Amino acid sequence: MDQGRPYQLSELRSMDRKSLFELANSHRHLWPANAGPLNTKTTVATMEQALADRNGGYRTMAPLPANTTAPKRRRGGRKGAISQTNATNASSMMQNQPRSSPAVPEASSNPFPITSGTNHEGVSNALGETLITIHVIDKREDPPAEIAVDTLVQKKFISHEGSTVPPTFKVKASEIVRVLELKSIIRGLIKLSTPHHRIPSAHQPFLIARTDLPLLETPLMVEYLTAIDNIVRVTVEYALSPHEVNDIISRLKRKREECEECKERSIIESSSPDALEASTSMAASANDQVPIHIARVRTNLRKATGAPRASVDDKSKALEWLTEQVVAKEGYALFNRLRGSDRAQNPDIVKLWLFVAELADEYLNKLVEIPDVSSRVKVTKKMLFQSLAIHETSFNTILRAASLIRRFGEHGPDSSVEVIARLTKVIPIDRANSTMPEGRKKLLEFLEEHNLQHQNK
């Protein structure tokens, strides 16, 4: 049975924003989860990408349009206005779209048939776009995870046309970053690298994100990446490793000790945030930067307390000191690696939750002595979750989860075999069959449900 064909960008770009939304919303259950929520704020580019995804569920029975040139989208005009032609196109597409389209089209409906033998031009459509596979090695996981993403790109600088050489061409690095970010594979403080075009065994970084800038606004170190046999290989790592973090903290401490030798300079630096930040930048090398959340702590605290820039109060010094203590903890490396991961196994999630709970046991509501502060400072909950660079809601959720683990887990007063088995459960990752770890949310739901059942006994 013919299940229809995927939409072409050429026909989607002839439609305005409202028509695209109506088309996507007509079969809302087909909207891909990794594209974010579908609402009136969804961008045109996101809707086009989701509707034209050949591996997605959106299909149409309409014949291919005669004009396959993708028109430029018009800007301006009355907001929400729809031309008669566009409205007719959208209506026709929605009527012709089958209600029960499969997530993956059958071979007969594939507009990019892969034939045996070598095709040095790659598999291309009428728009000149080439189907490639982005092979991602995610070193943020242990062991490293491998991910394959198929996408359409414009190829540049075609070379190696000989029949015995694999097809090689260039694709824009920004396009690869855009696709990986859309698929939620990359985010945050990361480093992307690719095999060098002359030395495949050597990796060449092309994006290092050490700030809170969106990835697409981060300057790229190279403009184009090499595709060999229609495959672009990308390695993902954290931009700031735990060793780099510890090294930076050590340099900051050494710099502070050196400054204390000169009393006058110490007094100036202890009262001037600009001077303190200048000494921080001197302590780090050209390639090392202070972790972004440590720098953000100072700015956020100034705003929260209303302290003028000309002075740094005792709370600011205490928060900076507390952040240094947290980052230097043994469990911080695992916490930092898993904070944004949705593929963490249950044993690692338990370690992450207990790490935060142990910090709360050690510091929360305790009086601590801070260098250069005359009186002891009480560590508040706000200071603790700011030092971890997490929101208060996440902090409270983690403490709740840790309390349930301590109660029903191993050595707990109400220890449960069922809970212990769930906390130690490891699910082998099999992306081909969509088998992934259950994640924090489901694990916490299980603990809450077990707690409720225990109370009702």
* Preceding amide of 143 cis, omega within 30: yes
332 conformational bin, left if phi > 0, alpha if psi -120 to 50, beta if neither: alpha
- How confident is the model at residue 423, as a pLDDT? 93
- Pick the closest to residue 194 from 203, 186, 202, 185 (CA basis): 203
CA distance 347 to 420: 10
Task: Return the top range by mean pLDDT from 206-210, 257-261, 402-406.
Answer: 402-406
How high is the pLDDT of residue 308?
38
CB burial of residue 74 (10 Å; 0-12, 13-18, 19+): exposed
The beta strand positions in 322-414, using DSSP E, are 367-368, 377-378
* 386: Cα separation from own chain's centroid: 21
Q: Which residue has the tokens 């029949």?
A: 163
pTM: 0.37
* Tokens 């900076």 found at: 320
Dist. CA 388–CA 120, nearest whole Å: 51
* pLDDT confidence of residue 273: 47
* Predicted confidence band of residue 359 (pLDDT cuts 50, 70, 90): very high
Q: For the chain, give every residue range classified as CATH 3.10.20.
A: 129-238
pLDDT digits (tens, 9 = 90+) for 429-449: 776 777 788 888 889 999 999
CA distance 185 to 177: 10
Q: How far apart are CA 164 and CA 428, in angstroms?
A: 39
Measure the CA–CA gap between 94 and 173, rounded to whole angstroms: 35
Report residue 376's pLDDT band, with 50, 70 and 90 as the boundaries. Answer: confident
**pLDDT tens digits along 198-244:** 777 788 888 777 555 566 667 788 888 888 888 899 998 887 665 55
Most confident of 92-101, 120-129, 133-142, 208-217: 133-142
C-alpha closest to that of 274 among 306, 307, 249, 311: 311
Q: Using the CB atoms, write b or e for 227-250: b if 16+ within 10 Å.
A: bbebebbbbbbbbbebebbeebbe
**Residue 374 DSSP code:** S
Contact indicator for 111, 103 with CB cutoff of 8 Å: no
Q: Are 206 and 173 in contact (CB under 8 A)?
A: yes
Distance, in Å, from the CA atom of 401 to the CA atom of 360, rounded to the nearest integer, reads 13
Amino acid at 101: S
Q: Give the DSSP per-residue string, 148-217.
A: EEEEEEE-EEEE--STTS--EEEEEHHHHHHHHHHTTS--SSEEEEEE-SS-TTSEEEEEE--SSS-GGG
| Contacts by residues 248-253 (CB-CB < 8 Å, ≥ 24 positions apart) | 248/283, 248/284, 248/288, 248/289, 248/290, 248/291, 249/324, 249/327, 249/328, 251/283, 251/284, 251/288, 252/280, 252/283, 252/290, 252/324, 253/324
Rg of the chain over Cα atoms, rounded to whole angstroms, equals: 27
Per the document, the length of the chain is 457
According to CATH, the topology of domain 129-238 is Ubiquitin-like (UB roll) (3.10.20)
> Is residue 68 predicted with pLDDT exceeding 80?
no
> What letter would DSSP give residue 77?
S
pLDDT for the residue numbered 247: 61
Listed in sequence order, the DSSP H helices in 2-133 are 9-12, 17-26, 44-52, 84-96
Look at strands 129-138 and 231-238 and give their pairing. parallel
pLDDT grade for 309, boundaries at 50, 70 and 90: very low
Task: Provide the pLDDT confidence category of residue 254 given band limits of 50, 70 and 90.
Answer: low
Are the C-beta atoms of 11 and 89 separated by less than 8 Å?
Answer: yes
Euclidean distance between CA atoms 319 and 370, whole angstroms: 10
pLDDT(310) > 90: no
Q: Output the pLDDT for position 406.
A: 93
**At residue 91, does pLDDT exceed 80?**
no
